[in-house]
Each structure stands twice: as structure tokens, then as C-alpha cells.
Structure 1
Amino acid sequence: MDSTQTFRATPLSRIADPSREASLARLEALAHLLDSAFLIPGINRRVGLEALIGLVPVVGDLVGLVISSYIVGEARRLGAPRWLLGRMALNVAFDGAIGIVPLAGDLFDAAFKANIRNVRLLRRWMERSGGVRPNEIEGTAVRIDG
């Protein structure tokens, strides 16, 4: 090694933080509970608590909106950029606005799954920024027969 080479330390913000991964895991579990925790027999469709809560007129939709907003708030706490928070907020607002419509809104809410979308967006951003380890390995698998 010659004396002109310098080494730069990896910034702490780029190292996967176990507490950030734990927060993301909790958000993924919450999103699953809200959007796809239960299987409807016969039609093999998954729905979550938010769709069931949304069956209660107005109050159920507001409760679902507040819980979905919690995920956006946690994304802010985790350092998500404004553009990502805006996209997540639009998903929540769209879900809430359509969800207010009786019956059709509830069917839409069961299909749109805004919380899972938002947590997936957050995970992708956190993986790209180095905040968490990738959930999936990117690449191509090649079978080698020996």
C-alpha cells in the first residue's frame, strides 16, 4: 500500500441498523394484519382488519385512515425522504377517499391494500439507501449439472 491511498469509513447511516430492521419488521406485520390477515373461504381472497373495520360507516373508515397514517409517520421517523412520504400519503388518501363510498369503497379497500404498498415502498427505499439488509437477493440463478 502506498502512502497516497486513503481509506474512507462507511458512514454510520449506510450500515444496516438492527433497530431500523426491527421497526420495518413491525410495520410489515402491521400492514399484513391490516390488509391481508384473513382468507375468505370459497373465493380464496385475503382481506385484513382495515377492510373489516371499514364496514362500520364513517367511523371505521376514519379509524383505518388513522392507522394507515401511523405507517407514514413511522416512515418519517425512519428518515424517509419527502417524495416517498408524499407518495405514501397519496396511497393512504386515495384509499381513504374511495373507502368512504358505502360497499364499493369496502370492496376497493380489500383489493387496493395501501398499507402493504406503503411498507413495500419504504423497504425498497431503505434497502437502496443501505438502512436495512435486502430482503431478497437480486440476481439470476444458474443451474449447474455436474
Structure 2
Amino acid sequence: MDTEPAALGRIRTLAHLLDESVRVPGTSFRIGIDPIVGLLPIAGDLAMTLCSLYIVAEAVRLGVPKRTVVRLLANIAVDAVIGSVPVVGDLFDAYWKANVKNAELVAAAISDG
């Protein structure tokens, strides 16, 4: 049977991949594949939103409170809507890091529960 630590590990791994997996050369700033794939109009943003929704699905499976799920969805909605704006949205994606925020929310909900 799946455990909370294993599920949280998957969530954190995905969040890191999407939001922080690549260091920008010459800086300490990190981006993930979200803003990179998001450069592809419509399809890129849609694909990244679907990946982000995996974190929500895991959170629901883990039984996090509904208010936390709403916050997770709100973070993804902001990321999807603003991120879909050409160029500006990709820069926003690089800074917003909705998936890392969501991983932290899930971890906090699990430790509180």
C-alpha cells in the first residue's frame, strides 16, 4: 500500500521538475520545465496545467482538507491564466512556482492532520 511519505515524495519531485530543476547559468535562480514548455502556445500551457493537477489529485487521495485543495487549485488557476499570456506569462511562470507552493501546502496539511 502507498504511504504518505511516498506520495509526498512524488509531489515534491514533480514540483521540483516543473518549477526548479534547471539553474539559470551565472545565477542562483532556478526554473523548471513549466516556463520552458509553456513557450509552446496553448498546448504547452495545457500540458503543464495537467501535470500540476496531478499534485491536486495526490492531495485529494491523501485526504487534505477541502480548503487546502481550493488553495492548490487557485495557485494552478493563477499559473494557467497568467502563464498563458505570450512572453509575459512565461516570465511569470518562472517566478510564481505554483507547484512548489502547492507541494509545501500539501506537506503542511499532512503534518497538521
TM-score, reference length from structure 2:
0.95
Q: Which residue pairs with 2:72 in the alignment?
A: 88
Structure 2 residue 39 is the aligned partner of structure 1 residue 19: no
Greater radius of gyration (CA): 1
More helix by share: 2
Give 1:55 deviation, angstroms. 0.8
- Pick from 19, 38, 48: which aligns with 2:32? 48
The Cα of 1:128 is off from its aligned counterpart by 1.2
| 1:81 Cα deviation from its structure 2 partner | 1.3
Query: Scaled by the length of structure 1, what TM-score is found?
Result: 0.74
The alignment-based identity, stated in percent, is 43
Residue 116 of structure 1 is matched in structure 2 by: 100
Q: Aligned pairs, how many?
A: 113
Match among 75, 84, 108 for residue 100 of structure 1: 84
Counterpart of 1:70 in structure 2 is 54
Structure 1: tracts of 5 or more residues without a match: 1-17, 130-146
CA offset digits 1:41-81 (Å, max 9, x no partner) = 02432000111110111110000111001111110011011
Measure the CA separation in 2 of the matches of 1:71 and 1:128.
Answer: 18
Partner in structure 1 of residue 16 of structure 2: 32
For the 8 Å contact 2:19–2:99, the answer to whether it is kept is yes
Unaligned runs of 5+ in 2: none
